[in-house]
Amino acid sequence: MVTRLVLILGDQLSPEIAALQAAGKAHDIVVMAEVTAEASYVRHHPKKIAFIFAAMRKFAARLRDDGWQVAYTRLDDTDNTNAIDSELVRRGAEFGATGVLITEPGEWRLIEALRSLSDESPMEFRWNSDSRFLASHAEFDAWAEGRKSLRMEYFYRDMRRKTGLLMDGDQPVEGKWNFDHDNRKPASDGAEFSGPMRFTPDPETQQVLDLVAQKFPSNFGSLDDFWFATDTSQARRALTHFIKTALPTFGDYQDAMLRDDRFLSHSVLSMYLNAGLLDPLEICQAAETAYKNGDAPINAAEGFIRQIIGWREYMRGIYFREGPDYPRRNALNHSRGLPDFYWSADTKMYCISKAVEQTQAEAYAHHIQRLMVTGNFALLAGIDPFQVHEWYLAVYADAYEWVEAPNVIGMSQFADGGIVGSKPYVSSGAYIDRMSDYCKSCAYKVKHKTGPDACPFNLLYWHFLDRHRDRFESNPRMAQMYRTWDRMDGDRRETVLADAGAFLEKLDSGQPV
Ligand code: FAD
Ligand code: DLZ
Ligand code: SF4
């Protein structure tokens, strides 16, 4: 009788996952393993590790209830070999397995490790594409082939046509593909947000929390007040809660930031989606139904669906198309070390301190905090993009390289030289001031353009444009910025650059900023 191992990784927790679909309960054995190699290739936030381990344990129990034989390794099992490839070797020998069924992992690192193992192993490896995505690699590559630039918007329209979401025949509902001009308002005074659904840890999750506290005591991030869903039925309740309470204002407040609200109208579903607890189409259909029933306006439903079938799928396409060297790209040759305040929140810059503090507490920050606060600062200050990438990969509960790297290396740091974005996402403090209520609590003055109190984003914005003039001045989308800079009085320009240089020197010498 043939026995094959069916590898299920910590972010593949879906009964529809391809390797499971290709396997049979009668002969095949599911292998799942909590291993040090995966838990420490970056120093993950403890809440991320706890979420993944708890969800893995509950998924294994579900599979067993469903009749599967599951060989599950816990982190503290004495015979744990502590890496995915060595666990396959150990389980292969234990069960006399002749083959391994794999669903393609979401990181080149692990793909390469498993490819090496399959070259050496007597077991036959069968690779399956990850069918949890709408666009296969071949489909994305076919879309990308021959295009001068890979703009997400056109890819997104194809995904709308493919899924039929918000379509009226072959036309978009209400006559437009994109309703962004109705979106992106600052949060109005007194706007209230109920936040994501919270779950009290069950005994299995509590056991994992104790284990993670003991094994990862010094990783950045707090384990206190763990409230994440850890199985599909809870994640579905979180989805229903979002659709009812936050989707209607999702578009309006997509880019807003508030001092006293960590979530606003965001769904906080990415960690469930990326781990396999929720399916992208299921989420989008729920949003579409809310729109059809008159419970959410088109700008909200369209904006939300675009993030999932557009941006999320597009980012994955870029990651696999660009290959394993993508996270090492550094088109702007930035080399400054990541400042300590990314780990401590200890900075006078209120916006950064807030974003880091909430990341530490929740393993979550919403998109505009990631892009226009911590990401914007790193880009303006010329931080080494690989260090920025490792930070994002470690600190967010939803972070796996296939989605994190194109967002960080591409969208946020322009380190891929313009594959994801046609221009760098940089802004001065004025943007943060417009979209948030942070600046009024800050030690720096957002209206000051020079001098000791000047908002560092104001100084560094011009410093960035000036030092990268050769690359960007002919970019039509940046022409206006250069015109404004050039119109500034020469002395003033010199003062801005000198103040920015002084700020960077302080940063480099580890003085408080
Ligand atoms: P919502 O605002 O409610 O959006 C709905 C869903 O759309 C999200 O759950 C997510 O699945 C999807 N989505 C939205 N924007 C993007 C995007 N740019 N790329 C891919 N999917 C998107 N997302 C991750 O899932 N993992 C990451 O590691 C990650 N790292 C990021 C790093 C940077 C620098 C930036 C700028 C963005 C990053 N994103 C990442 C994208 C986005 O910020 C998160 O998906 C989002 O903040 C998750 O919170 P949410 O579920 O409340 O999202
Ligand atoms: C992120 C993560 C962590 C922290 N731990 C495990 C683990 O112990 N076992 C496992 O199978 N997967 C884990 N993961 C998820 C993997 O790192 C993820 O599957 C790969 O990075 C590919 O996306
Ligand atoms: Fe951030 Fe500048 Fe506003 Fe302070 S003044 S919160 S540093 S944007």
pLDDT in tens, the chain (513 residues): 679 999 999 999 999 999 999 999 999 999 999 999 999 999 999 999 999 999 999 999 999 999 999 999 999 999 999 999 999 999 999 999 999 999 999 999 999 999 999 999 999 999 999 999 999 999 999 999 999 999 999 999 999 999 999 999 999 999 999 998 878 888 876 778 999 999 999 999 999 999 999 999 999 999 999 999 999 999 999 999 999 999 999 999 999 999 999 999 999 999 999 999 999 999 999 999 999 999 999 999 999 999 999 999 999 999 999 999 999 999 999 999 999 999 999 999 999 999 999 999 999 999 999 999 999 999 999 999 999 999 999 999 999 999 999 999 999 999 999 999 999 999 999 999 999 999 999 999 999 999 999 999 999 999 999 999 999 999 999 999 999 999 999 999 999 999 999 999 999 999 999
pLDDT confidence of residue 512: 96
Q: Could you give phi then psi for residue 336, rounded to 5 degrees? A: -70, 145
**Rounded Cα gap, residues 205 and 199, in angstroms:** 11
* Signed CA dihedral, 280, 284, 285, 287: sign only: positive
33-58 residues labelled b (16+ CB within 10 A) or e (exposed): bbbebbbeebbbbbbbbbbbbbbbbb
Q: Could you give phi then psi for residue 426, rounded to 5 degrees? A: -125, 145
DSSP structure class, residue 460: H
**Rounded Cα gap, residues 30 and 71, in angstroms:** 6
| Ligand 2 nearest-atom number relative to CA 49 | 4
State the distance from the centre of ligand 1 to the C-alpha of 333, rounded, in angstroms. Answer: 26
- For β-strands 69-73 and 29-33, DSSP reports them as parallel
- Closest ligand by atom to 74 CA: 2
Closest CA to 316 of 281, 276, 376, 274: 274
Report pTM: 0.98
CB atoms within 10 A of CB 339: 20
Pocket flag, ligand 2, residue 106 (CB < 6 Å): yes
Pocket flag, ligand 2, residue 34 (CB < 6 Å): yes
Cα Rg of the chain, angstroms:
24
Report whether 223 contacts 213 (CB < 8 A): yes
Q: Could you give phi then psi for residue 45, rounded to 5 degrees? A: -55, 135
State whether residue 313 is helix, strand or coil. helix
Pocket flag, ligand 3, residue 349 (CB < 6 Å): yes
Q: Could you give phi then psi for residue 443, rounded to 5 degrees? A: -70, -25
State the distance from the centre of ligand 1 to the C-alpha of 270, rounded, in angstroms. Answer: 6
Report whether 2 contacts 97 (CB < 8 A): no
pLDDT confidence of residue 1: 64
Pocket flag, ligand 3, residue 309 (CB < 6 Å): no
Pocket flag, ligand 1, residue 255 (CB < 6 Å): no
Pocket flag, ligand 3, residue 457 (CB < 6 Å): yes
Report whether 314 contacts 156 (CB < 8 A): yes
pLDDT confidence of residue 188: 73
DSSP structure class, residue 122: S
Ligand 3, atom 1, lies closest to the CA of 351
| Ligand 2 nearest-atom number relative to CA 48 | 4
State the distance from the centre of ligand 3 to the C-alpha of 492, rounded, in angstroms. Answer: 21
Pocket flag, ligand 1, residue 408 (CB < 6 Å): yes
Which structure tokens are listed for 211?
């284990």
Pocket flag, ligand 1, residue 274 (CB < 6 Å): yes
Pocket flag, ligand 2, residue 302 (CB < 6 Å): no
State the distance from the centre of ligand 3 to the C-alpha of 506, rounded, in angstroms. Answer: 17
Q: Could you give phi then psi for residue 425, rounded to 5 degrees? A: -80, 85
Which structure tokens are listed for 206?
């509590």
pLDDT confidence of residue 192: 84
State whether residue 4 is helix, strand or coil. strand
Q: In what order do the strands lie in the sheet with 4-7?
A: 69-73, 29-33, 4-7, 99-103, 124-128
- For β-strands 4-7 and 99-103, DSSP reports them as parallel
Q: Given ligand 2 and candidates 11, 87, 319, which is best to mutate, with the most ligand atoms within 8 Å of its CB?
A: 11
> In three state form, how does the secondary structure of 23-87 look?
CCCCCCEEEEECCHHHHHCCCCCHHHHHHHHHHHHHHHHHHHHCCCEEEEECCCCCCCCCCHHHH
State the distance from the centre of ligand 3 to the C-alpha of 366, rounded, in angstroms. Answer: 17
Which structure tokens are listed for 93?
């020998």
Pocket flag, ligand 2, residue 49 (CB < 6 Å): yes
* Length in residues, the chain: 513
Pocket flag, ligand 2, residue 9 (CB < 6 Å): yes
- Closest ligand by atom to 106 CA: 2
Closest CA to 303 of 400, 424, 404, 176: 176
Closest CA to 410 of 157, 154, 151: 151
- Which residue type occupies 83? A
Which residues, 6+ apart, have CB-to-CB distance to 187 below 8 Å?
253, 256, 257, 258, 261, 264, 437
**Rounded Cα gap, residues 68 and 272, in angstroms:** 23
User: Per DSSP, what are the bridge partners of residue 43?
Assistant: none
State whether residue 145 is helix, strand or coil. coil
The continuous run of DSSP H or E covering 125 comes out as: strand 124-128
**Rounded Cα gap, residues 27 and 177, in angstroms:** 48
User: Backbone dihedral region of 174: left (phi > 0), alpha (psi from -120 to 50 degrees) or beta?
Assistant: left
State the distance from the centre of ligand 1 to the C-alpha of 25, rounded, in angstroms. Answer: 35
Pocket flag, ligand 2, residue 261 (CB < 6 Å): no
Pocket flag, ligand 1, residue 398 (CB < 6 Å): yes
